[in-house]
């Protein structure tokens, strides 16, 4: 059973470009979370999604950031017109439906975004 | 809003010795979970141990145990018989049982195990 997969692992963008980060949850998992880790800091919650629904986006910046989790395919975190301050590691985590497994979230390896 | 505080930015311990990492949190809720995650240089987040707030018994996972003091809102992690592979960042995290079950992390403690 493959774990949470994220790609790309490393992404370099120039200021003003778009960044698309992908997350495939563990098989059978229907909850996806995105977290951001700035250098030398802890992870900060961004958004929580279920299939085709955004449940909690209280941690998402109001502009330039969006997320989706379509019925088919991976979850996508999209950052438009990136700025240097967006440079960070972005982690995806998934958990099973109906809060099985004691609410544990399983983390992917992260995508390190560098904005030049 | 819930907050998690880790007051020790860095800790160091001799191999085979015991070390305790501190964590305090602030919440007005009564129903929640607490976690310790390990982040080695690979940056992969690895769950170390979890505690349900309604359980009085402290959680234990092999060499890892917690001291959960609910009234004091304290959740420290004890690592016994430290090993070189324990060198990593350790993050304390809080999860409230609400509609999203999101994790709120502390700023982390960098642990170095010396040979």
DSSP tally for chain A: helices H, then strands E: 0, 11
Closest CA to A42 of B9, B100, B96, B75: B9
Q: Before A8, cis peptide (omega within 30)?
A: yes
pLDDT in tens, A1-36: 579 999 999 999 999 999 999 999 999 888 999 999
Inform me whether the C-beta atom of residue A35 falls under 8 Å from chain B C-beta atoms: yes
Closest partner CB to A102 (pick from B50, B102, B105): B50
Q: Compute the distance between CA of residue A105 and CA of residue A86 in angstroms, rounded to an integer.
A: 24
Q: Compute the distance between CA of residue A21 and CA of residue A7 in angstroms, rounded to an integer.
A: 6
List Cα–Cα distances, A58 to A35, B38, B55, B70, B71, in angstroms. Answer: 12, 25, 29, 27, 28
Q: Compute the distance between CA of residue B78 and CA of residue B13 in angstroms, rounded to an integer.
A: 12
Inform me whether the C-beta atom of residue A90 falls under 8 Å from chain B C-beta atoms: no
Query: What pLDDT sits at residue B54?
Result: 87
> Which tokens belong to A110?
């992260």
Q: B-chain residues within 8 Å CB-CB of A41?
A: 107-108
Residue B77 pLDDT > 60 = yes
Query: What pLDDT sits at residue B55?
Result: 86
Residue A100 pLDDT > 60 = no
Q: Compute the distance between CA of residue B67 and CA of residue B63 in angstroms, rounded to an integer.
A: 13
Closest partner CB to A45 (pick from B42, B44, B102): B102
8 A C-beta contact, residue B47 and residue B37: yes
Measure CA A3 to chain center. Answer: 15
> Which tokens belong to B42?
């690979």
Closest CA to A74 of A113, A38, A3, A23: A23
pLDDT band for position B39 (50/70/90)? Answer: very high
Q: Test A109 with B42 for CB contact under 8 angstroms.
A: yes
Give the residue from chain B lying closest to A39, CA to CA.
B107
Residue B37 pLDDT > 90 = yes
- Average pLDDT value for chain B: 94
Phi, psi of A103 (to 5 degrees): 65, 15
% residues pLDDT > 70 (chain A):
95
pLDDT band for position A68 (50/70/90)? Answer: very high
8 A C-beta contact, residue B80 and residue B65: yes
Residue B73 pLDDT > 70 = yes
Phi, psi of A85 (to 5 degrees): -65, -10
Closest CA to B89 of B51, B47, B41, B55: B41
Inform me whether the C-beta atom of residue A15 falls under 8 Å from chain B C-beta atoms: no
Q: Compute the distance between CA of residue B6 and CA of residue B107 in angstroms, rounded to an integer.
A: 6
> Which tokens belong to B102?
């999101």
Give the residue from chain B lying closest to A46, CA to CA.
B102
Residue A40 pLDDT > 90 = no
pLDDT band for position B65 (50/70/90)? Answer: very high
Structure-model confidence comparison of residues A28 and B75, the more confident one = B75
């Amino acid at each position: 059973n493959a774990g949470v997969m994220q790609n790309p692992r490393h992404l370099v963008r120039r200021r003003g470009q778009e960044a698309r980060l992908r997350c495939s949850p563990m098989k059978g998992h229907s909850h996806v979370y995105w977290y951001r880790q700035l250098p030398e800091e802890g992870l900060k919650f961004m958004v929580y999604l279920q299939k085709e629904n955004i449940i909690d986006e209280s941690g998402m910046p109001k502009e330039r950031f969006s997320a989706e989790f379509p019925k088919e395919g991976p979850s996508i975190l999209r950052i438009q017109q990136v700025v240097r301050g967006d440079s960070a590691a972005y982690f995806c985590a998934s958990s099973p439906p109906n809060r099985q497994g004691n609410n544990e979230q399983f983390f992917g390896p992260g995508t390190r975004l560098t904005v030049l | 809003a819930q907050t998690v505080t880790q007051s020790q930015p860095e800790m160091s311990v001799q191999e085979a010795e015991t070390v305790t990492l501190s964590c305090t949190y602030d919440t007005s809720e009564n129903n929640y979970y607490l976690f310790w995650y390990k982040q080695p240089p690979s940056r992969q987040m690895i769950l170390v141990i979890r505690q349900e707030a309604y359980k009085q018994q402290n959680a234990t996972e092999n060499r890892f145990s917690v001291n959960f003091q609910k009234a004091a809102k304290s959740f420290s992690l004890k690592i016994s018989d430290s090993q070189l592979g324990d060198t990593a960042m350790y993050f304390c995290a809080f999860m409230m049982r609400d509609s999203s079950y999101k994790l709120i992390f502390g700023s982390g403690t960098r642990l170095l195990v010396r040979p």
